[in-house]
Amino acid sequence: MIKKYIMTPGPTPISGQVLREHGRPLMHHRSPEFSEIFIKATGKLKKFMKTENEVFILTSSGTGGMEAAITNAFSPGDKVLVASTGNFGQRFKKLSKVFGLDLIAIDYEWGEALDPEDIREALDRDPDIKGVMFQFSETSTGVLNDAMAVGEIVKDYDGITIVDAISGLGASEFKTDEWNLDIVIGGSQKGLSAPTGAAFVSVSPKAWNLIEKSTMPRFYFNLLDAREAANRKPPQTPWTPAISIIVAINKAMDLLLEEGFERSFARHKLLAEATHKAVERIGLKLLVKDPKDRGQSVTSIMVPEGIDGKKLSNIMRTKHGVTIAGGQGKLKGKIIRIGHLGWVGMFDIITAISSLEMALKDLGFDLDIGAGVAEAQRVFYENKFFGE
Ligand SMILES: Cc1ncc(COP(=O)(O)O)c(C=O)c1O
């Protein structure tokens, strides 16, 4: 028997309580029973995103939320700015091209955070930019971008912000309204630790102004239809929603609210710190050099010279049952990523580090086995966060 651990930055591990809710007998989406859950889940997501704006739950993975934001906010030919810090920034660029937008891109080194002042300069140069898109947490590198600073800048221009907060929500403080963020996108399988298959988007009044004027062809992800359905009594969705996932999200939100957002952020901070320190103690290097650019959802680790990254993660998965993520795009084969997002505790990190050490040893890497585990344990023990 090999016990399995999913240590990726999405999908993330799901608790038994959430799985039990997800497995409830299906209820009809027009039934009063579901309606009550739908209203509650949407209300809790607003708290999660810290917004009074409307929040819509879409039946799609996170990318559907990104596509919905773009096809609703813009019209073909609109000038948009993408500040790309990695593979998911590239996805915003690809989507912009597919939908015929006039794309201006600022590309950062993968492993570096964006500089909000570059966005100010771009907006000053091109004041007709309709939207600024970026990732809050860039999952492909582990960088956390300063969404507050970008929101503060963009609010004084005509354009809106579209923020992919898919892997940052739940792990790091995020304030949609206070930070002046217009369209914010989240996903069910990340910080919420719910099943895959639902995205949620919040829409500000400034964004509605654009959406109401948009001439972009769209059908399934039409947010005007979503708003019309949400305004019915009781609120509905234009199409059959992902009923069981919404039921699971409602429960996942209860668990998060019970823990408290601040405590959840503090837990993620500690999980990230223990992972960073343990990895460095093993003698490996982190991709994100500047500690202030590092997020709390995922740790990207450089694969050491002479080690095959694919073999490394294969050993961890097949011998130890520990699934981690590899590099994406141009970082494929160059990094491995350990997720510490969602329903994750200190022993998950200790397990992942232990597996990493043993797999490295198998591949002939020179290390003092157990040193990384001891370092993680030390961080957890000295912090006294767990088991107070
Ligand atoms: C930052 C970010 N954006 C977008 C996505 C895409 O989401 P999905 O794979 O759910 O479509 C992910 C998923 O890994 C992500 O982490």
What is the widest separation between alpha-carbon atoms in the chain? 65
Minimum CA distance residue for ligand 1 atom 8: 62
Q: Which atom of ligand 1 is nearest to the CA of 165?
A: 1
Angstrom distance (rounded) from CA 286 to CA 304: 11
Lookup: tokens for 108:
């950062």
Structural element, H or E, at residue 148: helix 147-154
Residues of the chain scoring pLDDT < 50: none
The Cβ of residue 262 has, within 10 Å, a number of other Cβ atoms equal to 9
Angstrom distance (rounded) from CA 191 to CA 184: 15
Angle at 224 between CA 130 and CA 32, to 5 degrees: 140
pLDDT at 318 (0 to 100) = 98
Angstrom distance (rounded) from CA 127 to CA 353: 48
pLDDT at 385 (0 to 100) = 86
What are 2-24's pLDDT values in tens digits? 999 999 999 999 999 999 999 99
Question: 201-223 as b/e, with b when 16 or more CB fall inside 10 Å?
Answer: bbbbebbbebbeebebebeebbb
Nearest-CA neighbor of 85 among 159, 10, 4, 167? 167
Residues with CB under 6 A from ligand 1: 10, 61-63, 88, 135, 137, 139, 164, 166-167, 187
pLDDT at 388 (0 to 100) = 62
Name the CA radius of gyration of the chain, rounded.
Answer: 21
Minimum CA distance residue for ligand 1 atom 14: 10
CA–centroid distance, 62 to ligand 1, in Å, is: 5
Lookup: tokens for 258:
């019970």
CB 340 within 8 A of CB 297: yes
Lookup: tokens for 156:
């004084």
How far is residue 103 CA from its own chain's centroid?
Answer: 23
Angstrom distance (rounded) from CA 281 to CA 334: 19
Dihedral-angle region of residue 355 (phi above 0 means left; psi in -120 to 50 means alpha; beta otherwise): alpha
Q: Is 74 helix (H, G, I), strand (E, B) or coil?
A: coil
Angstrom distance (rounded) from CA 342 to CA 224: 31
By CB neighbour count within 10 A (0-12 exposed, 13-18 middle, 19+ buried), where does 383 fall?
A: middle
CA–centroid distance, 88 to ligand 1, in Å, is: 7
Domains of the chain and CATH, by start: 5-10+260-383 (3.90.1150.10), 16-257 (3.40.640.10)
- Beta strands 322-323 and 5-6: pairing type? parallel
Pocket-testing residue among 6, 166, 169, 193, ligand 1, by greatest number of atoms within 8 A of Cβ? 166
pLDDT at 386 (0 to 100) = 81
CA–centroid distance, 33 to ligand 1, in Å, is: 31
Angle at 117 between CA 116 and CA 123, to 5 degrees: 95
